[in-house]
Amino acid sequence: MSAAVLETENLVKVYGRGESRFDALKGLTFEIRQGESVAIVGKSGSGKSTLMHLLALLDEPTAGVVAMNGRPVSQLKPAQVSELRNDTFGFVFQQFFLNASQTVLENVILPLKIAGVGTAERKRRGMEVLEQLDMADKAGNRATDLSGGQKQRACIARALINEPSVLFADEPTGNLDTATGEVVEDILFGLHRDRGITLVIVTHDDDLAARCQRRLLMQDGMIVADESGEAVRSAGASVGQTSREGSRRVGGHGKHAAPVVVDGPGLDEPGPDGPEAGPTAPGAATAGAAGQVENAGTTGEERA
Ligand SMILES: Nc1ncnc2c1ncn2[C@@H]1O[C@H](COP(=O)(O)OP(=O)(O)OP(=O)(O)O)[C@@H](O)[C@H]1O
Ligand SMILES: [Mg+2]
């Protein structure tokens, strides 16, 4: 059994105060183990993105603990948190757009620039990762001049450039057509299978959720089910359905059972491109899909 890479204890997030107070997370305790693939699912507004932002250290909880490799993050200095995030995490968030005025390569190597890696090495690694995603021929293109699927692959390339051990993806296939979405999925699960990368994916897509080894079902700021094992993979499958390894309903405060590791399928080859995946805007971090204000100042774009 692999070690817990991320742990939470009684995680609480409250937005606003007084009459506008909203309890977005109501005391979540769970852990994510190294090398797991975890889907966070649930209705719009249930707190998925909020939870993801806390796990990814992009935002701070109102109360409770997030621990990374056994160490509470609150014990770290802000600079250490930034460094940890830059070294350990990759992000594929729709709201963290590519910079439209830069080339694909420039976008992809931005995290290396922030990390202080030299120009030649940046370019070498940038081209290497673009190669892996079948995007090398687009390296010199403006980020705007890409199809939706290509933009998403560029975002994945940027997320991978630091060889993260944990990849966070918020609706990675949300704006893509089915075929392109499957290509992106295959890339993510290929990384999981081949490199042991930990995947934490927020999704409304039942099939994508089913492909993960574990599904956390959120409802009104609580985790109400923690399902391990390979789920039924059909168009009608929902997270509420019983998986092969069994599922259990849980309260918001309980410690969850260790996940059962089941190897999911995965392919590597990127395929054809899809339609537009939304705008590309310089200086990401604006309002997200749910209209919430995203955290500024913590993404590569802002720190550049
Ligand atoms: N900055 C904020 N200020 C006030 N309320 C917020 C803020 N961000 C999120 N919320 C509220 O917290 C709740 C959870 O939001 P969150 O973005 O986590 O939902 P979600 O599950 O990701 O939804 P979706 O599937 O629509 O993306 C929502 O009711 C939302 O309106
Ligand atoms: Mg969301």
Pocket of ligand 1 contains residue 74 by CB under 6 Å: no
Determine which residue's CA is closest to atom 18 belonging to ligand 1. Answer: 47
Pocket of ligand 1 contains residue 48 by CB under 6 Å: yes
Residue 266: predicted pLDDT = 30
CB-CB neighbours of 121 under 10 Å: 11
Residue 104: predicted pLDDT = 96
Ligand 1 atom, smallest distance to 13 CA = 12
Determine which residue's CA is closest to atom 8 belonging to ligand 1. Answer: 292
Determine which residue's CA is closest to atom 24 belonging to ligand 1. Answer: 44
Tokens of 5: 């890479």
161/104 Cα distance (integer angstroms): 13
Pocket of ligand 1 contains residue 35 by CB under 6 Å: no
For the chain, give the mean pLDDT.
79
Q: Which bound ligand lies closest to the C-alpha atom of 50? A: 1
Pocket of ligand 1 contains residue 297 by CB under 6 Å: no
Residue 163: predicted pLDDT = 87
**At 94, is the pLDDT very low, low, confident or very high (cuts 50, 70, 90)?**
low
Residue 9: predicted pLDDT = 97
Residue 95: predicted pLDDT = 61
**At 296, is the pLDDT very low, low, confident or very high (cuts 50, 70, 90)?**
very low
Nearest alpha-carbon partner for 221 in 22, 38, 33, 72? 22
- For residue 231, pLDDT over 60 is answered with no
Tokens of 240: 């509420």
Q: What share of the chain has pLDDT > 70, as a percent?
A: 74
Pocket of ligand 1 contains residue 296 by CB under 6 Å: no
Pocket of ligand 1 contains residue 290 by CB under 6 Å: yes
Averaged pLDDT for residues 35-45: 97
Pocket of ligand 1 contains residue 292 by CB under 6 Å: yes
Pocket of ligand 1 contains residue 14 by CB under 6 Å: no
Residue 100: predicted pLDDT = 87
- Give residue 104's identity as a one-letter amino acid code: V
Q: What tens digit of pLDDT does each residue of 96-130 get?
A: 678 888 999 999 999 899 889 999 999 999 999 99
Tokens of 37: 């693939």
Q: Which of residues 201 and 152 earns the better pLDDT score?
A: 201
Residue 233: predicted pLDDT = 43
Q: How far is CA 108 from the centre of its chain?
A: 17
Q: What tens digit of pLDDT does each residue of 236-295 get?
A: 444 444 444 445 555 433 333 333 222 333 333 333 333 333 333 223 332 233 323 333
Residue 96: predicted pLDDT = 63
241/245 Cα distance (integer angstroms): 11
Determine which residue's CA is closest to atom 13 belonging to ligand 1. Answer: 45
Averaged pLDDT for residues 55-60: 94
Q: Which of residues 65 and 93 earns the better pLDDT score?
A: 65
Tokens of 62: 């109102």
Q: 222 CA distance to ligand 2 centroid (A)? A: 15
Residue ranges of E strands in the chain: 4-15, 22-33, 37-42, 63-68, 71-72, 89-93, 166-170, 198-202, 214-219, 222-228, 247-249
Determine which residue's CA is closest to atom 31 belonging to ligand 1. Answer: 45
DSSP letters for 19-55: GG-EEEEEEEEEEEETT-EEEEEESTTSSHHHHHHHH
Q: Choose the weakest-confidence range: 122-131, 181-190, 210-219, 255-264.
A: 255-264
**At 46, is the pLDDT very low, low, confident or very high (cuts 50, 70, 90)?**
very high
Pocket of ligand 1 contains residue 45 by CB under 6 Å: yes
Q: 94 CA distance to ligand 1 centroid (A)? A: 15
Ligand 1 atom, smallest distance to 290 CA = 26
26-35, 152-161, 263-272: which is most confident: 26-35
Q: Which of residues 96 and 12 earns the better pLDDT score?
A: 12
